[in-house]
Amino acid sequence: MNYWVIKGNPRNRWDELLQPGQKWIWETGRVTGDWQKRDRLFFWESGSKLRLIGLGEFFNPDCGRNKKGKREFELKCLSKRLPVMPTIDELKRRRPLNGASFLKAGPAATVFPLSNTQGEFLVRLLASKNPEIPALQRWAKDLQTSRQDTNLFAASSQRGIKDFHDSDGKIRHVDFQKWRKKWPLGYFLSLKTKTRALLHLANCNHPGSFEWGVQRTKGRTIKHSLTKLRKVCSQSQVALLSWADQNNVVYRACKHCLPQGYTVKRFPLEHEPFLSTGELEVDSGHVEGKAVRVEVSRYERDPRNRRACIQYHGAICEVCGFESSKVYRGVIDGYIHVHHKKPASTGVRKINPIKDLVPVCPNCHAMLHTRVPPWTTADLKRRLL
C-alpha cells in the first residue's frame, strides 16, 4: 500500500469533485513512481490556500495518453471536504514530514510520493482532527490492527526479511544466491541450530561464494546446497538482528567478513511505539539537562590534514553533493565534516589527506558510522533514494 498527494487548483472545482464514491479522470505530464490500484491519496488544494482537503484512491492508474501527450488516470473520492484541513505551515512543523516532496517549492507537478512513515503519520494526524470522516477512521483502524500489541521496532524488523531453507524436497540454494547478488551490501544469519547462528555480510565467501553451486570430491561432482542450513537475510543489520532477538537466536559475527568485537548500533528513538489517534499530541515531555560526568577516549586529529582535504576536494559532500553555501545563505560558508576512510581509532599512522580523507555532510557522516566497520562512501551513495 503506497501513499500519494494529488495537487490541484481551486479551478478544479473541489467541492463538486469531493463526493464519496465519485470518480473522475485526471492528467499529468510528469509520472512519479509506480502507481497501483487502491493506493491511497491525499488531495491538496493549491493556489492561495495550500492545504490538505480530502481523501481518495487510484481506481485506474493508467488510462493511456490523451491528445496533449499527457498521462490520464482515474481517481475515486473517499471523503467530502475535510472539516479540519491542515495547512502547509502546520505540516512543515511536523517532524515526520521533513523532506516530504509535496511541501517543497519546485517545478509544477500533480502527483507526489510519500514514504510509508509519512503517509501513516498523515492518516493518524487527519483522523485525530476529523473523527467524523469514515474513510479516515477506517484507514486509522487498519494501521492500529496491523500493529496491535507491537511497536515500530518489532514491525520494522519483519520488513525485508528473507528466509531460505531446504524443506519439503524444495532446494532454495539458487534463490539464496540470487538474493546475495541482488543485495551484496546486505547481511544473513546462517543457523547452525534452531537457536545458534553466525552473522555474515552478503558477500562473505566463508559459507560459500556467489558462484557456489557444486562441490567436487575425489573426482566426483556432488551437488551441495548452501541452504541445507537455514539462511535468514535482510538488507538491514538492525532488522535482521531484531528478528534474531525475537526468535531467541544467539549469534556471533563471522571472523572472516566482520571485525573482532563487531557490534550492532541500535537507534531506540526510531523504534518507539506507534501513537494511536487519541494519543497523537498528549505527551507532556520529560526532564532533560541534568549534568552527567562521562569519561571517553578521544583520538587526535591534525587540523592541517582537514584543511588539506577540503582544499583538494572542496567543501562538497562526497555522498549526496550537499554544499552549505548553496543551501544556507549568510550562515557558515564551507561548513563540512571530514571522514576518515579508515577510522582513526584503528591506530596511530601518517594520514594522506587526499587519499585517506573525504569531505561529507553531517547527515551522511552519521550514516557512514551506523555500522562497524563504517560504510564506504560508494556503498552509501548507492543506497541514496
Q: Are residues 264 and 317 in the same domain?
A: no
46-103: pLDDT as tens digits: 888 889 999 999 899 888 888 888 888 899 999 999 999 999 988 988 878 877 888 8
Split into its structural domains, the chain has a count of: 3
Cell numbers found for residue 171: 532446494
182-228: pLDDT as tens digits: 888 888 999 988 888 888 888 888 887 777 765 555 555 455 788 88
Q: Are residues 100 and 183 in the same domain?
A: no
DSSP letters spanning 112-155: EEE-HHHHHHHHHHHHHH-TT-HHHHHHHHHHHHHTTT--HHHH
pLDDT-derived band at 297, boundaries 50, 70, 90: low
Residue at 292 is within a domain? no
Q: Are residues 13 and 59 in the same domain?
A: yes
- Residue closest to 85 by CA, chosen among 136, 17, 13: 136
Of 146, 166, 188, which marks where a domain is finished?
A: 146
> 57: domain range?
3-146
Residue 2 and residue 119 in contact, taking contact as beta carbons nearer than 8 Å: yes
| pTM, full prediction | 0.42
DSSP 202: T
Cell numbers found for residue 308: 588539506
For residue 298, pLDDT over 70 is answered with: no
Q: Are residues 231 and 254 in the same domain?
A: yes
Residue at 276 is within a domain? no
For residue 231, what are the β-bridge partners? Answer: 164, 190
Q: Are residues 200 and 140 in the same domain?
A: no
Q: Are residues 71 and 186 in the same domain?
A: no
Q: Are residues 12 and 110 in the same domain?
A: yes
- Residue closest to 111 by CA, chosen among 209, 174, 36: 36
Q: Are residues 61 and 126 in the same domain?
A: yes
Q: Are residues 218 and 162 in the same domain?
A: yes
Residue at 188 is within a domain? yes
Q: Rounded to whole angstroms, how far apart are CA atoms 187 and 64?
A: 41
More confident residue, 118 or 262: 118
Angle at 168 between CA 166 and CA 170, to 5 degrees: 50
Residue 5 and residue 42 in contact, taking contact as beta carbons nearer than 8 Å: yes
Residue 338 and residue 297 in contact, taking contact as beta carbons nearer than 8 Å: no
For residue 262, pLDDT over 70 is answered with: no
